[in-house]
Amino acid sequence: MSSEEIRVVIADDHAVVRQGIRGVLEEVEGLRIVGEASDGDAALALTQEHQPDLVVLDVTMPGKTGLEVARALRDAGSGVRVLMLSMHDEPEYVLEAVRSGAYGYVLKDVTPAELRDAVTAIHEGREYFATRVTQQLSVGLRQELEREQQRSRIDSLTPREIEVLVRVAQGSTNRGIAEELGISPRTVETHRERVMAKLRIRSVAGLTRFVVELGLDRPPT
């Protein structure tokens, strides 16, 4: 695991659950809990204030639900990664979490090791869904989950970021993209970095596969 610090906000309406999560996650090297919230509104405020790398959200909380907080963060383009923690293993909850922009979904009876694995995976740009959660999904629902993951990724991008994404995948240089779009090369690089962070893709080859798989082979007009 990278020595880079992982800054985390925990949100659950039960103090004992928050304490347990804190105890488990503080065993991860380089991880620091920067805030705790007992309801959705406080979770959103803390996340906006501290800009952590990751927020662990209970699905059901007073005020805004975890799903509503995740959607608000996604719509604001914050880049904060969300791990949903829930007692519900029904497929509709998992799909709705993905639609809301969550990177992962684990159950409250998860083992300490699996919770640490989930946080580590999400911080490293990978999605994480508890084994029992995925086992509940039929083949059709697994396919729907994959489609929702793709839609969620695209929905997180601005129109300008999509323009840059497509051109990068087509092999254009930063300078070439800048000239075509009438912006500076540095602005192109900023968009490119944000796209890779939002899509959790770390190479041009990965961006190219993503564009081809979603049929984004032409820039939007």
What domains, with CATH codes, occur in the chain?
6-141 (3.40.50.2300), 157-213 (1.10.10.10)
138/214 Cα distance (integer angstroms): 23
Beta carbons of 133 and 186 less than 8 angstroms apart: no
| DSSP character at residue 157 | S
Give residue 65's pLDDT: 93
Give residue 219's pLDDT: 44
36/33 Cα distance (integer angstroms): 8
To 5 degrees, how large is the angle CA 114–CA 120–CA 124? 140
109/163 Cα distance (integer angstroms): 43
Give residue 50's pLDDT: 94
Question: What does the DSSP assignment read for 172-208?
Answer: --HHHHHHHHTS-HHHHHHHHHHHHHHHT--SHHHHH
List average pLDDT for each run of 10 residues in the chain, which is 221 residues long. Answer: 77 94 93 95 94 94 92 84 89 82 89 93 84 63 62 77 90 92 93 84 81 65 46
148/101 Cα distance (integer angstroms): 9
159/140 Cα distance (integer angstroms): 30
